[in-house]
Chain A
Amino acid sequence: MQDISLHLLDIIENSVRATAKNIKVRVINDHKQNLLRIIVEDDGVGMDTGTLEMAQNPFYTSKEKRAKKVGLGIPLFKQNAELANGSFNMTSEPGFGTVLTADFELDHIDRMPLGNLKDTLLGVIIGHPDVDFQITLLFREKGREQSFHFSTAAIKEELGDIPLTYPDVIEYIDQSLQEGIQNTNMEVV
């Protein structure tokens, strides 16, 4: 993975595979604390302590039917957070869901770029119409705080039986995310 937004996409896809119906994504760009924090919280099937530990091991995958018995998504994300003097934490409860937090030191030389957050979010929102997403972007610097909230449940309610892949709807979501990302300075390199 070349950037954090691709890791985020990978993690969100894990939540979807864990049959989550609600996924909360938070991205916090905090210059006061020199921190870039990603939090993904889902209400999927969750994991017991043993599985949770194994998920951070590259030679484990939950995909039993697959020939390829390795899962590199989580271990690589963890490694990249730790390389930027950050940390990585997952907690989970079977039957309730999973919370994953990845912290990066914002100005660390080895911190990956955030990348194209908009394309990650647009893809998961439209590609998983049965999942409700709550997205929060928060920018914080000395004396200034700017936030953006985006909830897909309200949009789906307003749309009724019009699908999210309807051309004007794609454009609507794309532009909303674009504005939010600009307003919260999430185009950080």
Chain B
Amino acid sequence: MKTLADLKKIREKAQEEMKLRGSSVRIKIVVGMGTSGIAMGAREVMKTFLEEISNRNLTDVLVTQTGEKGLSSLEPVVDLIEEGKPKVTYGNMTPDKVRKVVVEHIVNGRIVSDYVVATGN
């Protein structure tokens, strides 16, 4: 059974880490979660990002969900936003593509151009 005491331990551990490397968010991931996105598998895309963050212990990444942006035929759609860089939008995402984007783009800093459907704002 999970208890609040477990959370306290997590907080202490996280605070130690933050002291060492700061608490900045390097990359923000935004998963489109409108009706058509959900119907096309956006929840599994979100879930895979969360799994990868957890498995790879990525502490400088933030994931949020947002509504539709009128790219219905390209759903599921994901934006990657990095400070000082143009926004990158990936389309037709699947769990496998998410794993590739995490390794290539988020960890190694190389955009996976095959999956990009838009850049900039």
Contact = CB atoms under 8 A, between A and B. Distances in A.
Interface of A: 1, 6, 9-10, 13, 16-17, 63, 66-68, 71-73, 116, 119-120, 122-124, 126-129, 154-155, 158-163, 165-172, 174-176, 179
Contacts of A123: 31, 33, 43, 46-47, 50, 65
A154 B39 contact: no
- In the complex, which range does the number of interface residues on chain B fall in? 35 or more
The 3 closest A-B pairs by CB, nearest first: A127-B65, A73-B35, A176-B2
25 contacts: A9-B33, A63-B67, A68-B70, A68-B72, A73-B35, A120-B43, A123-B46, A123-B50, A126-B50, A127-B65, A128-B65, A129-B64, A154-B4, A159-B11, A162-B11, A163-B25, A165-B53, A166-B10, A167-B56, A167-B59, A169-B7, A171-B54, A172-B6, A174-B54, A179-B2
A129 B64 CA distance: 8
Contacts of A172: 2, 6-7, 10
A166 to B, nearest CB: 5
Main SS of chain A's interface residues?
Answer: helix
B23 A127 contact: no
Contacts of B4: 154-155, 158
